[in-house]
Structure 1
């Protein structure tokens, strides 16, 4: 038979196991902010402890009860409970439990802002942990030491404690302490203004809390995210996290902590670690004896007060949220105003940059076109003449390209105007193909050119923009085709009165374009893929310019393509059939009486030595007498002390500008013709030149026909 002593031991063991089980459940409920469940389990543990009469388990129960009171915000009761636990543990020499209690008391002291006491308790706990190698307490103590340093506004020291405690917490899978540690470390990083690191750390805390349903820590993580993103001036994200924090807080506050605290004191004796069944007070007896009407009145009054309290709380929270939202919106508005001002400054800087770079590009381009003209006049061989004509055409195209890059914004704003001059379309396309001939040979491609013979020889339109469209499209096919064929087809669609309707096709059997990229290939700075960009180069502007130019000419680009099989671009254009009723510069140049220019004295005002040389040679070739001034001041002096028949005036020069020099010359000579020979971009400011005394304007680089036509007009 089993002895009575054995039965007693078995009974005590069973009781102790049950108490420990209830305390474990209570701790788990506390971690998940389920305070009512925690209270229920502590109450059951307290009742069993009274039966077992075990001082060790009484202390353990008081420990968990202290944690409950801390969560409820009743720090006074929490301190009483943990003090009772510590007195028992010291008497029983229970170092493991004592270290845990000192750690809890240290945390309660932090909450009470009694930092000196907190440091004392936590250091004592840390000493016991080290002495007894209590690995499971090492991390929690370091965590609370970090929280203490954080509360004392020493975030660097806090991070050191957190980093020291993390390996042990991680190795023991202490997920609650791990989530709490990462949340507090993120706060420390935010205080050090390490905002991106703080976000990453807080995300770890959030992930652990979600997985283990630590609602209180989740709520604190949302609150922290709100503060971080507010610091980063990402106010919309900050507001979303603040709302999430408020939702969690509302959910947690549904557990009425005040009622639970009262219930805890009603069920538990916080004085001497015994479960006391409270006797009914005189008030309770009177309530039991009161009339049913009185009870109903009391219940209704409580319900009304509760509803009014909840309504007041809701209004208060809504007002707070509204005020915070208004503040965030104001900050966002300020941020947008600042961004607008920055964008306006950037736009002004871009305009200034484009104006400057255009002038700098036009000046050397003037040398290219001027020297080409001089070489063409030197009786070149047929071979050289072909190359020089190609160079001349390329110079004209480059000038057009410079103008179009400058006018990209104007293209999109429909501010670029289409010229309407006569030209030979077939010759224009031939010039394009000659200019691209070397690229065709380098890629070992074959060109197939089909031009409808029924198309009139002379058309009216914008030949430079037609060239630009064709060079971009044909150049595109050449670039993306190797050892292949390229077809250029121009077909007559119809002729109605003096209007001719043409269809253009540029087809290749190159790499082709995927269906996905066909939707975006005509956007600015877009190519088929990063690999294509690396392999073939380019800016991705060509097709965008083509699309915009065709749009200005009331047309649109069409694309048919298959990856690996090639592409076909096509578009339709309308032209007028040219009838030779008005003259252009080329025709006017043929009618020029060059004898009028012989021995005329010309003053060339130009600061660029190469441009001086080119202009001088062109003038002297026509038997004019040329003098040069390097700047505006020199020009004014020479015009005052010498007699000239014409002044060619540059605009941008060191010292005074060409406009200022012209104004000074007009003070003593009202009659001498002054022509602006300039690389300045001429937009809508032509009146400024005429108002300040110029007779005419020749933009650089110029066509020689235009140059001599305007000279003849001024000298006549």
Structure 2
């Protein structure tokens, strides 16, 4: 069932909360901006109304000033009339009062237009052009004003006539100037109105832009987030429903599995117990042998079931290991034919293999796991086939010079598989019913194991079937091509080489140095030991060697680079380089593939003496996983123990310091050194811990702190045990 962790949910909720807060802040900011713009627009409108009223007053006063100048001129004309004698004027207070009032209003208006008058709402902030126009008419204004004052005073007839003439003379210029001033006032007022209107349009456009941005930045993401949340909730609901259904199916499958396992265990156990009892009760040797054969067959059935259970448990715990070895791709087919031919004969069907026209090259992979997959598929095919036969085909295609795509097919003419069962059949504890409603037997683990083995190899498995027309199961894996020199079985007498060889051994670990030197010298070979690439090159230039054995991971220049340097030295001397054998604690096939052109053979630690000697005899290839060496000479083991006790404590201390400091590079190098030494001693758990530590050091997404907490105490226990076995006092 899928695990919807609280941590993931909490992180998702935090992201949603932060996004919501951000959208809320943006929404408030947008609303505030719109409000400020609206307030600004209202203020602008009010200011515009005030400015409009002020402009209207100015224009009205300016027009009235023109009218007052005309009234002043008319009053002066009446005074100059022939019908109005001086004595009559003096006795006409109305005319004198009118002239005086007109002159006062005219003078006040003239000053207010220029300098402002708050009592009548005139601002007095005239533009430079207005001031220029007023300055232009100022002389006329002054002369007219002085003439009017002369008329109002007690002057004689001639003086008054002259004053009237002065007013009439300058009235036209004054009126013309006032017309220009009024026109300028109107133009400036219209210009201000136009500017204010443009500003209003700008505020309106800015408001619309803010609203548009609010829609794009706030509302649209909010709507999209709501839609995604709804979709996520719907998806989560679907996943929960699917998980519930899957859990229910798993529960049903496990219940059926327990019933199947119980049945599968009881059936052969019944045979074992029954036949054992019968064998004890008979004196006929032939009859007893038949009973025991049945017991053996039942035992093999039990063993197969237990192996399947162990395999599925290992796979579920990610502990499935692949043993990498050189193999012929046709070998799994021939082995499967040989092992399943009896079952095919009992079912009265044919079982045959179809080999490719061009044999595939030798490859690096786990042959036993491939045989296990083929046996499972072939067994199922034989059970499902009542007429016809079963074919096993092998083919492949080179991908490049280092890798090969290997394909196997198991084809039967049986009852076929319904479409609804074709994917489900690869699930654990699953069996498919036949047409008559029966099941094929077994615990329902075989095909699940097949798929997971192929997945572990990085391959893929496919099933094509049609009811009543048979089934074709195809699986393909990509594997490295083995180096040119292929391995043969170790010689029956590895201690007797075909001829003594002069060997250069480049190994930086003291334990492995002793092991290699003793093993090779005991076989009659001459050994020169160096512990790094530089000293190896120096020794290589001083002697001729029949072969070179090089550890892949060396201090300074590594093993591959050292091998290339040695080849260059030979080529510079006009000689062909000797065969070079690679030693490493890595068991991955990619290591062998990547160095296939550098080395002539490839061996993994721990070093088995018979394989090493067989390799030197004909440079065969073998890659094996790290495991303990048990068949080692006691005297050699004692010497290895002594060397290990002398060198390991300092190495372990350096490793601990590197781990505490988080130094991945040094941790990887030191772990690799220990991996080359520990397999010679009884320390399986410690070896596994060091392997995990080396893996963590090589992966930047894994903390070094994932190593087992008791690894250092395991080192102490091993050292104490070795000191006790060597009768050495423990050192604190």
TM-score calculated relative to the size of structure 2? 0.28
TM-score calculated relative to the size of structure 1? 0.28
